Structures are given as structure tokens and as C-alpha cells.
Structure 1
């Protein structure tokens, strides 16, 4: 899977975060907080990735009372292959940096306190 342009650093960060949790669904707010990417940047990235088949999307099935359903995202099989290709195409120095960043994302997510449900 190849595209005309190289992905931006923000797109690479989104892909790395989703690659760490390939079986799990993530919602945009969670990704925005974890990656410190503003919604105005994140959602267009997610939409483009979904249009290209890199990311699968779904609506949350069960929602707490008083909250609308969230849109969920996860890496598709093609997306996982694309991430592998991106990592192989990087120089060893860049690859070690992005792999290091990919190990930080789960630790940051695990260290965040659970959100209190309203």
C-alpha cells in the first residue's frame, strides 16, 4: 500500500498509537489527549485514513445515559501492513525513535487516571 505523499508527523503518531492497540477500538478524544493533537488536526487525519482503508470505523454500540455515541477507530489489516512498510522505509535512527515513541504511548495511556462517568 503506497500513497502519493509521505504521512505527516501527526499522521505517523496516530498510526503508531493505533498500531499499539490493533485489536482495540479507540475514540478520537482518547487519541487527542494521548497524542496531544488538537481535534481540528486529528479528525481530518482519521477521516483521510478511513477513506483510504487504513483505519476501520464504527459507532459505539452501548453508551452511558446522557452521552451520544462515540465514533471509534482501529487499524485495518491494510493499515497494519502500511505501518510495517513505513517502519521498514525509515532509516535505522528514525525507526528506533518511532519505535521508542510507540512504547511510550501505552505507558502514557496506562498512567492516566480513569475518567469519572457523568
Structure 2
């Protein structure tokens, strides 16, 4: 999974309560992403097996709104998302020596 900023925002939002299903508008509010960015991310996460999606069982007439599609991370998705975000937050390795050998007084050329 390529970790773009929108993907990181969605995964972070879903990981705040991994067992709690979230619907699109809820995720838009949590992430600040527009629908045209959010839904392709959700689609990619589902295709990767990280996300499950189910329609709510509600009568749209009685509810006064369309049925919502709820998204939640799968078990594999929770593990993969936590690992991916941890790797992203890991400190960068120290500087590497430049090619060409040593610097002044025999010190490595950083």
C-alpha cells in the first residue's frame, strides 16, 4: 500500500477506534478530505484487504436519509496499518558518508 497523505489520514482516523465502523461523511469530517479523495482511498484499502465495507440495514424512508455504507479495518488491516504508520513515524537513519572517502584530518566525510 502506497502511503500518501490521504491514506495516512484515513488509516489514522480508522485506528482511533478500530472496532468502530465509520461511514463516509464521518471519515470526511475526521480527515478533512473531500469525497473525491476519500472514496478512492477507501476503494484501494478494500482492494488491498485492509478494509471491510457493509451497508447498514435501515429503511431509508423511515430514517429520512439514504442507507450508509460503514467501513472498518479488518484484522489484517489493523496490523498492517499500525506497522505502516509506525514505520512512517520512525526516525530517519543518520547521515551516510559521502562517496570519496574521508574528510579533513581523516574524519569520515559526512
Normalised by the size of structure 2, how large is the TM-score?
Answer: 0.73
Match of 2:87 among 86, 89, 99: 89
CA contact (8 A) 2:8 2:85 kept: no
Match of 1:22 among 14, 18, 21: 18
Q: Residues of 2 paired with 1:55 and 1:32: CA distance? A: 16
Larger radius of gyration: 2
Displacement of 1:31 after TM fit?
0.6
In structure 2, runs of 5+ residues without a counterpart are 93-110
Aligned partner of 1:69 in structure 2 is 67
Residue 40 of structure 2 is aligned to residue 44 of structure 1: yes
Q: Which has the higher helix share?
A: 1
Q: Residues of 2 paired with 1:23 and 1:12: CA distance? A: 18
Aligned residue pairs total: 90
Normalised by the size of structure 1, how large is the TM-score?
Answer: 0.68
In structure 1, runs of 5+ residues without a counterpart are 95-118
Over aligned residues, Cα RMSD in angstroms?
1.8
Displacement of 1:35 after TM fit?
1.2
